[in-house]
Amino acid sequence: FENGLRKEIADGSENWDEEKYVLSNSCLNISDKENNIKTEELLFISCLNSDMCWHILSLDENNLTLSYMGRGNSLNYLRVK
């Protein structure tokens, strides 16, 4: 997640998935927008094209943990340079 672009690659994949994202106080995507999810200042990431939203659980220089609002499962990301 950098400069409004989400880039993701899974182990064994050759190509990166890329999509624009929005950092906000609540989910902005259609599926989660009307679910009355509690708002928290700039702790939600919405990808409008894929209709997905995540809640930021933790963040540091190299690690990011998100809760996917569609299922509630946690996703752990490691910065790749």
Contacts of 19 (CB under 8 A, 6+ apart): 5, 6, 47, 49, 50
Kindly state the DSSP code that residue 38 receives in the 8-state scheme: P
Q: What's the whole-model pTM score? A: 0.75
Q: What are phi and psi of 30, to 5 degrees?
A: -60, -45
Sequential pLDDT tens for the chain (81 residues) = 788 998 888 888 899 889 999 998 888 887 766 666 666 777 899 998 888 899 999 999 999 999 998 777 898 988 877
Burial of residue 27, with CB atoms counted within 10 A of its CB: 0-12 exposed, 13-18 middle, 19 or more buried: buried
